[in-house]
């Protein structure tokens, strides 16, 4: 029998068909692309600029080798992905939820990001997280504090930092502690913008006031970015509460304090829901009018005395931004570290694998720059171990005054 070349080829093909198909070699991941979505223009642009510096500081620590007891610091890049480096792609949502939605979709479909971190405004986090959910891309809510965000049944939503119910509870614990020392605190005035941030904040404070026996003598909702707050401040002045509790971003906070000055209303005490009241821009504009104002926060630079790496990492951020970490920039920094740590443990840029790694996160507090017990997410994606602090603005800087285990000074009460 003559064996033709055609028979040899056919026989070879038949033999090959019996062999298992070789899996294609997995392509080496050279970089991990993470989307970062913030207001980079408009009234909140400074927040976005500072956020960029915070994320760039975290990226430096991820990509280079540092001797810090911080996840991702030791070794260069993602050791779980062969040393791949992180590359950040910044997007500007302009404080507009619909712009945020469009930018999140662009980051996922065009920039091919493996995860997204954001967003400052809670209203923008709503739309961004919905897009991430649809595309099964993990979203880490670095600095959004609206409690309703993690209660929407989303699988890809995670928040390492506290929310406003946790922050407000710390405020009321503080009031209770002062009352035990004989201070008179009976009446509260709530002042909040009409977005999800302001509404959720006020709802948490209304419930706590009812539970703890404090009287709300004013509950004022105003339009965000309002050109005038005269009518609202007149109501606050008439109520004259023991504590004014504002939930306002920077421009509204500045307008509130300036209008109070114009109308001759000096609050007895101010305990703020962070936002504008943690921003240097507000104190540069009106700091002399509110010595002793108290704001809740996640971060305390005082922690550097116990945890030296906090001071060293703050110095790195300060070199880039000209500022110390504050409540926002510290949470932004940790947001990227937490996400990168999960990607590293996942050894993958696949959204579902990263999500599984985030679910398994169990990061000790001392391995962060925050005064938190740990980072461990519950079934809704919320870290309930992020202990808030209260900070008092005194002598041109914030000092930790509560809780006792974190405090470095007693509160000046009433405000000077």
Residues 292, 169 share a domain: yes
Dihedrals φ, ψ of 87, to 5°?
-125, 125
Comparing 115-129, 327-341, 394-408, the range with the smallest average pLDDT is 394-408
Residues 232, 85 share a domain: no
- pLDDT (0 to 100) of residue 103: 98
Assigned domain for 210 exists: yes
Residues 170, 138 share a domain: no
pLDDT (mean) for 379-397: 93
> What is the pLDDT confidence band of residue 406, given thresholds at 50, 70 and 90?
confident
Residues 140, 250 share a domain: no
Comparing 213-227, 376-390, 398-412, the range with the smallest average pLDDT is 398-412
> What is the pLDDT confidence band of residue 129, given thresholds at 50, 70 and 90?
very high
Length of the chain, in residues: 416
Q: Exposure of 405 by Cβ count < 10 A (0-12 exposed, 13-18 middle, 19+ buried)?
A: exposed
Query: pLDDT exceeding 90 applies to what percent of the chain?
Result: 79
Residues 169, 158 share a domain: no
- pLDDT (0 to 100) of residue 280: 82
- pLDDT (0 to 100) of residue 19: 45
Residues 204, 182 share a domain: yes
Residues 187, 110 share a domain: no
For 335-386, the pLDDT digits (tens) are 999 999 999 999 999 999 999 999 999 999 999 999 999 999 999 999 999 9
Dihedrals φ, ψ of 221, to 5°?
-100, 130
> What is the pLDDT confidence band of residue 397, given thresholds at 50, 70 and 90?
confident
| DSSP state letter for 81 | G
CA 272 – CA 263 distance, rounded (Å):
20
pLDDT (mean) for 164-186: 95
- pLDDT (0 to 100) of residue 366: 94
Assigned domain for 410 exists: no
Distances (CA, A) of 58 to 54, 72, 176, 340, 415: 6, 9, 38, 9, 36
Range of the domain at 67: 31-162+303-385
Distances (CA, A) of 237 to 203, 232, 250, 290, 294: 22, 9, 21, 16, 19
Assigned domain for 416 exists: no
pLDDT (mean) for 78-96: 97
Question: In 249-378, at which residue ranges do the beta strands (DSSP E only) sit?
Answer: 271-272, 294-297, 363-364, 374-375
| Closest CA relative to residue 37, chosen from 163, 137, 171 | 137
Comparison of pLDDT for 281 and 227, the residue scoring more: 227
CA 26 – CA 23 distance, rounded (Å):
8
Residues 106, 70 share a domain: yes
Question: In 112-268, at which residue ranges do the beta strands (DSSP E only) sit?
Answer: 115-118, 139-141, 157-158, 187-193, 215-222, 243-247
- pLDDT (0 to 100) of residue 345: 98
pLDDT (mean) for 53-72: 98
| Closest CA relative to residue 402, chosen from 176, 238, 206, 140 | 176
Assigned domain for 1 exists: no
| DSSP state letter for 234 | H
Residues 157, 36 share a domain: yes
Q: How far apart are the first and last CA of the chain?
A: 109
| Number of DSSP helices (H) and strands (E) in the chain, helices first | 12, 14
236 within 8 A of 260, measured Cβ to Cβ: yes
- pLDDT (0 to 100) of residue 20: 44
Residues 268, 394 share a domain: yes
Q: Exposure of 369 by Cβ count < 10 A (0-12 exposed, 13-18 middle, 19+ buried)?
A: buried
Handedness of CA 335, 339, 340, 345 (dihedral sign): positive
Q: pTM score, two decimals?
A: 0.84
Residues 396, 343 share a domain: no
Assigned domain for 21 exists: no
Q: Exposure of 328 by Cβ count < 10 A (0-12 exposed, 13-18 middle, 19+ buried)?
A: buried
The answer on pLDDT for 2 being more than 70 is no
114 within 8 A of 351, measured Cβ to Cβ: yes
Assigned domain for 201 exists: yes
Residues 287, 362 share a domain: no
Question: In 350-395, at which residue ranges do the beta strands (DSSP E only) sit?
Answer: 363-364, 374-375, 389-394
For 292-339, the pLDDT digits (tens) are 999 998 898 988 988 999 999 999 999 999 999 988 999 999 999 999
The answer on pLDDT for 272 being more than 90 is yes
| DSSP state letter for 366 | G
Q: How far is CA 38 from the centre of its chain?
A: 11
Assigned domain for 262 exists: yes
How many CB atoms sit inside 10 A of residue 347's CB?
15
- Domain count within the chain: 2
- pLDDT (0 to 100) of residue 27: 57
- pLDDT (0 to 100) of residue 21: 46
Average pLDDT over the chain reads 92
Query: pLDDT exceeding 70 applies to what percent of the chain?
Result: 94
């Amino acid at each position: 029998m003559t064996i033709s070349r055609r028979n040899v080829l056919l026989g070879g093909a038949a033999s090959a068909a019996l062999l298992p198909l070789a899996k294609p070699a997995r392509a080496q991941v050279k970089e991990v692309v993470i989307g970062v979505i913030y207001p980079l223009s408009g009234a909140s642009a400074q927040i976005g600029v500072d956020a960029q510096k915070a994320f760039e500081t975290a990226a430096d620590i991820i990509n280079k080798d540092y001797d810090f007891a911080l996840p991702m610091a030791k070794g260069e890049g993602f050791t779980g992905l062969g040393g791949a480096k992180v590359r950040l792609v910044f997007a500007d949502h302009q404080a507009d939820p619909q712009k945020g939605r469009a930018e999140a979709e662009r980051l996922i479909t065009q920039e091919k990001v493996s995860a997204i971190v954001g967003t400052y405004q809670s209203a923008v986090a709503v739309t961004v997280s919905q897009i991430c959910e649809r595309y099964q891309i993990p979203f880490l809510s670095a600095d959004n504090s609206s409690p309703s965000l993690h209660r929407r049944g989303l699988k890809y939503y995670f928040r390492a930092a506290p929310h406003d119910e946790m922050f407000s509870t710390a405020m009321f614990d503080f009031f209770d502690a002062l009352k035990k020392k004989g201070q008179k605190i009976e009446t509260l005035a709530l002042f909040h913008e009409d977005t999800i941030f302001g509404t959720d904040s006020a709802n948490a404070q209304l419930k706590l006031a009812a539970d703890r026996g404090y009287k709300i003598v004013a509950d004022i909702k105003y339009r965000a970015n309002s050109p005038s707050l005269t009518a609202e401040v007149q109501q606050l002045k008439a109520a004259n509460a023991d504590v004014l509790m504002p939930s306002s971003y920077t421009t509204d906070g500045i307008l509130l304090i300036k209008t109070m000055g114009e109308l001759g209303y000096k609050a007895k005490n101010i305990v703020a829901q962070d936002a504008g009241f943690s921003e240097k821009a507000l104190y540069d504009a009106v700091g002399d009018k509110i010595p002793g104002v108290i704001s809740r926060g996640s971060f305390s630079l005082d922690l550097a005395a116990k945890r030296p790496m906090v001071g060293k990492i703050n110095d790195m951020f300060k070199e880039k931004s000209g500022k110390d970490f504050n409540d926002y920039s510290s949470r932004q920094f940790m947001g990227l570290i937490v996400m990168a740590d999960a990607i590293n443990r996942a050894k993958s840029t696949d959204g579902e694998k990263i999500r599984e790694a985030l679910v398994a996160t169990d990061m000790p507090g001392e391995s962060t720059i925050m005064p938190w017990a740990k980072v461990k997410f519950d079934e809704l994606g919320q870290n309930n171990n992020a202990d808030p602090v209260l900070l008092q603005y005194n002598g041109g800087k914030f000092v930790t005054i509560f809780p006792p285990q974190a405090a470095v000074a007693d509160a000046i009460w009433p405000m000077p």
